[in-house]
């Protein structure tokens, strides 16, 4: 049961190619506990219905450089967040980190995304997924505590404001666990099994860590519904989809369009809508259900009905049964799980002409948006959460410095935010490049920045907000004016400076951690 609509999307690549040109043919498996590589980003649009970020970019005020450069390549439902930013309405950002190792430059992307949304006025949440690290990865609480401190120090050093935002660890957040418990009542084992490949061997704590993450994702809306963005890697998309489904299942009311007193499913409703619109166009008289049935039968005979044969048949039957009832567009509010008092209050609240049925109200003077707003208010007044489905943005995974994937368990493949600055320098100097075998060839053919992990360092991190500089590196490389030796040296120096400054700020925060309302030492064992 999914409430998400996958958006069909064409397959061309955007011009900003920061993925090292990865266009393989491997199957994409979105596995939150898997190896976190994506060989073909197109499949994420086609198969999973993630939308291209470039399509909302124009709606975002002062987009972050990771957005401008296509590092943030995809999203689900980011528009409400962008709108809230433009209109100075409340919104939130939340992401979480499994404390399984040192934070590295890949995590910096997410830190920056949280911090940027915070600076744009969002309520910001950074959480440590210690329950997940313990249950899904088997880390001890002592290891978890050490890594937790390191993640938080980097998040703070990069600019997270802990006075305005909130930091927490899953194990110490009672409200998250209570919410997770409620959400867990909306999902069952078969569903988790289908989404995460769980089976009879999966331990219960691992499943509990999934509902905990659902609690995390909806936690910013506990007091009031608000657009919330979850910045993550695409491997986390299964979690986002489930959270969006659970948010909808928690709602007391649903709002749909309808044309008559009977109920239809979505494809049936589309057929009735076509029949109504075509027939109403030709007459000022009411269009009766029977006429709509005849219309669909004619369409069916001519092979023009735009739906599965069984759908057409069932729609015709429903319409025939309704006989002389006139078709009349209306906005329907369906009682999903509301208390009697809430349903009564909703009836009261609907202005203008309305018809009340057992489990729905048909309204004739409300737009869909107005009906949704009303349903939301009544739900809130009657103790419901009125959750908005959470939004997400997805960033590309960085290529490892040694080629292949960047992996926490292969030190040479990544730069840890805790690496000595000189070590960072050396790792950049040892990186593979998109350069040619000889300087001559490089001058003649140009390098391949799209295939170059060093270029990625510039685009994802070193160039920071300076687009012109990033473009200059790209153009000089592709044009053959830039040679890898000097290019790497420049990147290595910038990396060294970045690490030195970052670690200075970490050290400053290390002396101030007691200012935070955060439990650094777990009392678990």
Instruction: Give the interface with ligand TRP as residue ranges (CB under 6 A).
Output: 32, 94-98, 127, 129, 132, 213, 216-217, 230, 232, 236
Output the smallest distance, CB 120 to ligand SF4, in A: 31
Helix axes 266-281, 289-301, angle to 10 degrees: 100
Binding partner at 435 among ligand SF4, ligand TRP, none, C-beta below 5 to 8 Å by kind:
ligand SF4
Output the smallest distance, CB 20 to ligand SF4, in A: 10
Output the smallest distance, CB 494 to ligand SF4, in A: 12
C-alpha to C-alpha distance for 16 and 54, rounded to whole angstroms: 10
Q: Does 477 bind ligand SF4 (CB under 6 A)?
A: yes
HSE-up (13 A, CA, CB side) for residue 520: 14
CB-CB neighbours of 261 under 10 Å: 15
| SS3 call for 416 | strand
Asked whether the beta carbons of 464 and 450 are under 8 A apart, the reply is no
Asked whether the beta carbons of 493 and 425 are under 8 A apart, the reply is yes
Q: By CB under 6 A, which span of 207-215, 286-294, 398-406, 477-485 interacts with ligand SF4?
A: 477-485
Enumerate helices (H) and strands (E) in the chain, giving the number of each.
20, 11
Output the smallest distance, CB 483 to ligand SF4, in A: 6
Q: What is the largest CA-CA distance in the chain?
A: 83
Asked whether the beta carbons of 183 and 211 are under 8 A apart, the reply is yes
Output the smallest distance, CB 187 to ligand SF4, in A: 46
Q: Does 455 bind ligand SF4 (CB under 6 A)?
A: yes
- Number of residues lying near ligand SF4 (CB under 6 A): 14
Binding partner at 487 among ligand SF4, ligand TRP, none, C-beta below 5 to 8 Å by kind:
ligand SF4
Output the smallest distance, CB 132 to ligand TRP, in A: 6
Asked whether the beta carbons of 480 and 442 are under 8 A apart, the reply is yes
Q: Does 484 bind ligand SF4 (CB under 6 A)?
A: yes
Output the smallest distance, CB 478 to ligand SF4, in A: 8
Asked whether the beta carbons of 28 and 40 are under 8 A apart, the reply is yes
Q: Which residues contact 377 (CB under 8 A, 6 or more apart)?
A: 349, 386
Output the smallest distance, CB 447 to ligand SF4, in A: 3
Binding partner at 362 among ligand TRP, ligand SF4, none, C-beta below 5 to 8 Å by kind:
none
Nearer to ligand SF4 among residue 331 and residue 431 (C-beta): 431
Binding partner at 434 among ligand TRP, ligand SF4, none, C-beta below 5 to 8 Å by kind:
ligand SF4
Asked whether the beta carbons of 392 and 72 are under 8 A apart, the reply is no
- Per-residue H/E/C for 247-264: HHHCCCEEEEEECCCCCC
Nearer to ligand SF4 among residue 23 and residue 439 (C-beta): 439
Binding partner at 454 among ligand TRP, ligand SF4, none, C-beta below 5 to 8 Å by kind:
ligand SF4
Nearer to ligand SF4 among residue 73 and residue 458 (C-beta): 458
Q: Which residues pair with 257 in a beta bridge?
A: 331
Nearer to ligand TRP among residue 172 and residue 483 (C-beta): 172
Q: Does 487 bind ligand SF4 (CB under 6 A)?
A: yes
Q: What is the bridge-based pairing of β-strands 228-232 and 92-97?
A: parallel
Tokens standing for 484?
């890898």
Residue ranges in contact with ligand SF4 by CB under 6 A: 433-435, 447-449, 452, 454-455, 477, 482, 484, 487-488
């Amino acid at each position: 049961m999914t409430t998400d609509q996958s958006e069909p999307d064409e397959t061309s690549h955007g011009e900003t190619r920061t993925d090292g040109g990865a266009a393989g043919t491997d199957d994409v498996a979105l596995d939150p506990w898997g190896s976190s590589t994506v060989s073909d980003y197109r499949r994420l649009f086609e198969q999973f219905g993630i939308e291209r970020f470039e399509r909302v970019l124009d709606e975002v005020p002062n987009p972050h450089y990771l957005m401008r450069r296509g590092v943030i390549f995809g999203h689900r439902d980011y528009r409400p967040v962008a709108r809230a930013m433009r209109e100075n309405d409340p919104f939130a950002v939340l992401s979480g980190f499994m404390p399984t190792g040192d934070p590295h430059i890949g995590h910096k992307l997410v830190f920056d995304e949280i911090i940027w949304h915070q600076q744009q006025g969002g309520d910001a949440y950074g959480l440590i997924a210690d329950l997940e690290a313990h249950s899904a990865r088997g880390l001890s609480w002592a290891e978890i505590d050490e890594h937790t401190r390191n993640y938080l120090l980097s998040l703070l050093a990069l600019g997270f404001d802990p006075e305005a935002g909130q930091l927490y660890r899953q194990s110490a957040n009672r409200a998250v666990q209570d919410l997770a418990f409620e959400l867990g009542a909306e999902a069952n084992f078969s569903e988790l099994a289908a989404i995460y490949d769980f089976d009879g061997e999966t331990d219960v704590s691992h499943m509990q860590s999934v509902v905990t993450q659902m609690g995390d994702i909806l936690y910013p809306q506990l007091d009031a519904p608000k657009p919330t963005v979850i910045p993550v890697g695409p491997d986390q998309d299964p979690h986002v989809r489930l959270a969006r489904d659970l948010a909808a299942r928690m709602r007391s009311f649903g709002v749909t369009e309808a044309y008559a007193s009977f109920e239809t499913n979505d494809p049936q409703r589309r057929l009735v809508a076509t029949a109504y619109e075509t027939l109403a166009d030709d007459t000022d008289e009411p269009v009766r259900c029977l006429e709509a049935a005849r219309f669909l039968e004619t369409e069916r005979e001519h092979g023009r009905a735009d739906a599965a044969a069984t759908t057409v048949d069932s729609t015709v039957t429903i319409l025939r049964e309704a006989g002389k009832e006139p078709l009349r567009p209306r906005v329907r509010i369906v009682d999903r799980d509301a208390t009697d008092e809430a349903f009564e209050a909703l009836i009261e609240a609907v202005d203008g002409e309305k018809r009340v049925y057992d489990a729905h109200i048909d309204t004739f003077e409300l737009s869909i948006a107005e009906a949704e707003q009303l349903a939301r208010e009544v739900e809130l007044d009657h103790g419901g959460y009125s959750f908005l489905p959470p939004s997400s943005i997805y960033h590309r995974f960085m290529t490892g410095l040694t080629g292949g994937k960047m992996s926490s368990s292969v030190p040479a493949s990544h730069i840890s935010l805790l690496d000595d600055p000189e070590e960072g320098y050396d790792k950049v100097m040892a990186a593979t490049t998109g350069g040619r075998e000889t300087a001559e060839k490089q001058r003649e053919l140009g390098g391949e920045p799209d295939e170059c992990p060093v270029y990625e360092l510039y685009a994802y991190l070193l160039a920071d907000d300076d687009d012109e500089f990033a473009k200059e590196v790209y153009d000089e490389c592709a044009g053959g004016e830039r040679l890898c030796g000097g290019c790497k040296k420049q990147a290595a120096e910038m990396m060294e400076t970045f690490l030195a400054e970052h670690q200075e700020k970490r050290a400053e925060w290390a002396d101030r951690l007691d200012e935070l309302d955060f439990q650094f030492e777990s009392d678990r064992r």
